[in-house]
Amino acid sequence: MAVAAASRHGGTCEIADRIAVTLAAELSDGWSVTRTDLRDLRALDDVDAVVLGSAVYYSHWMHAAGRALRYVKDAPLLDLWLFSTGPISEVDSADAQVPSADAMVADGLAVEHQVFGGRLDTSLLNWAERAAVKAVHALPGDHRDWDQVDDWAKHIAAQLSQVPTRGSVARSSGR
């Protein structure tokens, strides 16, 4: 199993790190969990399952995560979980789930898509990012709920523990 994420300022990668640690602790000895980056997508070859995440900017996944998603989405018998992270906004619609990841779940290409709050440290942003943050009324601070992250990772581990063969987790009710 591989856990990977794209992150501009590190917050999403910290969530991926936490998911990988929790999965490694929860899964039986028959599973190996690798936390990988997205520089070499071959790290996603020959794994039974992938948890792939991305920070969301301007309502889109980061390029590296999108490239990884295209790489794994047609992999035969691969169980795929997706997660998105972003800052919390004062405007409810800005916190809506990312439609393309949700569509993959609906189409049976992924098991689940989870949306987590992100971390917004304005001191790390360039002027264009600061302008975007202001435009969408994003709230600075760390909005990650670590209990929610741990619970989701445990949920994934429980699903994988039930069925030990590759590609066996039902990806949607349509399959």
pLDDT of the residue at 168: 47
For the chain, domains (ranges, CATH) are 2-162 (3.40.50.360)
Q: CB of 128 within 8 A of CB of 136? A: no
> 170: pLDDT confidence band, cut at 50, 70 and 90?
very low
Burial profile 73-98: b = 16 or more Cβ within 10 angstroms, e = fewer: beeeebbbbbbbbbbbbeeeebeeeb
DSSP letter at 95? G
The pTM for the full model equals 0.79
Q: Quick one: pLDDT at residue 51?
A: 96
Question: β-strands 141-142, 119-120: how paired?
Answer: antiparallel
Helix axes 11-26, 146-162, angle to 10 degrees: 40
User: What is the residue whose two structure tokens read 């169980």?
Assistant: 79
Quick: pLDDT tens for 90-147: 444 444 445 577 777 877 888 999 989 877 777 777 777 777 767 766 777 777 899 9
pLDDT for 101: 76
**Separation between Cα atoms, residue 17 and residue 5, nearest integer Å:** 9
Whole-number pLDDT of residue 97: 43
pLDDT of residue 77: 60
pLDDT higher than 70, residue 148? yes
pLDDT at residue 11 above 90?
A: no
pLDDT of residue 73: 78
94 vs 160, higher pLDDT: 160
Closest CA to 2 of 26, 31, 39: 31
